[in-house]
Each structure stands twice: as C-alpha cells, then as structure tokens.
C-alpha cells in the first residue's frame, strides 16, 4: 500500500514539471537553500520548525529601528509663562549692569562714575539731607536739559551765589523757600549724565554740607509739588534750573509770579 502511494506522488510531481515546461524550467535552488529545506524537513519530522530569534524587548514589543530614536530629546523647553520670561530678562539685565567706580573723593564724600547699580530710595524730606544723593540729567521741551535728584525734583542755582570759590548766600528765610540739597557723612553721590569731576559739596554757614555742580550750590524750590515741576524757573530773574555743566537753563516762556507759577 505504501509503494502505491509513493508511486502516485512521483507521477503527480512529474506531471507538474511538464505543465510548467512551457514557461521555462525553474532555476535550481542554491545549495544553502537546499540544505535549509532539508534541515527544515528534518526538523518538521522531529516536531520542530524554524523558530524566529527571540525578541530582546520581550513579547509584544517592536524592536528599535536602527538609526531612529523613538523619543528624540527636545533641545529647549518653552517658557512656562510671560512672567517667568520677564523675570529672566530682568535677571539678565541686572547681570549686565556694572557697578560704578569712585571717580572723585572730597574728604568724606565719594563721587562715583555713574548711576548706582542698586535701587536707591530717595529721601522724602528736602531739608534733612541724606548719605546718598542721585543727580540725573533730565530733558524738558521748554528749558532744555536740567538736573534733578533721585525723586525727579528740579535742582536750581542762585545768581547771588558764587562758584569760584563755591559759596552759598541763601540762608534763613531764603533757605526756607529754597531748601539746599544736603549731603551727610559719610556721603555718596551718583551722577547720571553729569561729569563726576565737577560734582562736589560746599560747607554752609550753619555747618551743613550742600551739593555743588561745577562749584554752584544747588537747591530745591518749596512750591515744586511733584517730579518735573519747574515753578521756580526764572523767579526774580535770579533762580534757574541748573544744567549738567553747572550753567543756567533757558528761561521758561511767559513770566512767573513770586510763587513760581506762570
């Protein structure tokens, strides 16, 4: 029975070869492939088939593709919010801000090369003086560039004073209306837009020390209520907002009354 079954299979195989002859005989399989087929046949007889290599990542996982990252790293993370971005910008600005150096020393007062690298709270009082004074060059369309203190209050010079040598002639009631800008010991002056070499102080008749610009003592005006007021400009033809070089600013258009108002 087994011989008849084998004979039938051989006959069917020959018939299959004859039917494909018109399309050309198939190329003989390479020796390696033939050996693999034989090995597989032997394994099949032993109950073993060709098994794929084990997946090192475990069952159900796809192996990594060569040269491709599943989750490429992100170079930069977006800033969380605008407030954080503003803080970062402010920190960078503070880092770039350089501390001024001492450009001049007059006894116990140090005059620096520029504005302070730290925030300074200006004194509220115009009569008590301070150990730290800021001088800022400020623009005004009417009178040009003039000098203010750290709070933006206008500083004036008096024609009855002298700058060579520096001397104040405004005392008593005059000093009540025109409080001098005083510096206390040990003092620091930070000019911004003013040459530090022409900044100093002069001792007044009462023993206090008054800030000077190019030798001219400088004053506030009692009727200047807020930053930017120039109500004392040209008053009595003797009081003028002081320029960064110590000169007089241009007269304001229109006359001023004795109170300093137009």
Note the pLDDT tens digit of each residue in 234-252. Answer: 999 999 999 999 999 998 8
For range 98-120, the mean pLDDT = 93
35-61 CB burial, b ≥16 within 10 A, e <16: eeeeeeeeeeeeeeeeeeeeeeeeeee
Q: What confidence tier does 51 reach under pLDDT thresholds 50, 70, 90? A: low
pLDDT at 115 over 70: yes
Q: What is the DSSP string of 97-145?
A: PPPP-EEEEETTEEEESSS-SS-----S-SSS-EEEEEEEEEEETTTEE
Give the residue among 156, 201, 193 at the shortest CA–CA distance from 175: 156
Query: What backbone phi and psi angles, to 5 degrees, belong to 87?
Result: -65, -40
Q: What confidence tier does 106 reach under pLDDT thresholds 50, 70, 90? A: very high
Give the residue among 239, 210, 246, 226 at the shortest CA–CA distance from 127: 210
The pLDDT, as a whole number, for residue 100 is: 92
pLDDT tens-digit map of 158-194:
999 999 999 999 999 999 999 999 999 999 999 999 9
What percentage of the chain carries pLDDT values higher than 70? 63
User: Coil, helix or strand for 33?
Assistant: helix
Residue-averaged pLDDT of the chain: 78
pTM: 0.62
Q: What confidence tier does 72 reach under pLDDT thresholds 50, 70, 90? A: low
Higher pLDDT, 11 or 196: 196
Domain ranges of the chain: 133-241
């Amino acid at each position: 029975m087994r011989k008849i079954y084998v004979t039938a299979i051989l006959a069917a195989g020959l018939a299959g070869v004859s039917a494909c002859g018109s399309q050309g005989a198939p190329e003989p399989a390479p020796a390696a492939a033939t050996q693999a087929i034989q090995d597989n046949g032997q394994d099949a007889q032993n109950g073993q088939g060709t098994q794929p290599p084990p997946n090192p990542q475990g069952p159900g996982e796809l192996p990594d593709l060569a040269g491709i990252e599943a989750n490429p790293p992100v170079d930069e993370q977006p800033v969380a919010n605008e407030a954080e971005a503003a803080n970062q910008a402010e920190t960078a600005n503070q880092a770039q801000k350089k501390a001024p150096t001492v450009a001049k020393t007059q006894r116990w007062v140090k005059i620096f090369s520029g504005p302070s690298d730290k925030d300074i709270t200006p004194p509220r009082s115009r009569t008590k003086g301070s150990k730290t004074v800021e001088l800022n060059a400020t623009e005004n369309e009417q009178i040009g560039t003039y000098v203010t203190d750290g709070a933006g209050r206008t500083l004036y010079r008096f024609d009855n004073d002298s700058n060579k040598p520096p001397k104040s002639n405004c005392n008593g009631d005059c000093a009540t209306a025109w409080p001098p800008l005083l510096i206390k010991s040990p003092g620091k002056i930070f000019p911004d837009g003013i040459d530090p070499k022409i900044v100093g102080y002069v001792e007044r008749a009462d023993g206090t020390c008054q800030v000077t610009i190019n030798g001219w003592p400088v004053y506030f005006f009692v009727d200047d209520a807020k930053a930017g007021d120039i109500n004392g400009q040209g008053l009595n033809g003797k009081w003028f907002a002081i320029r960064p070089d110590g000169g007089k600013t241009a007269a304001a258009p229109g006359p001023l009354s004795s109170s300093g108002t137009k």
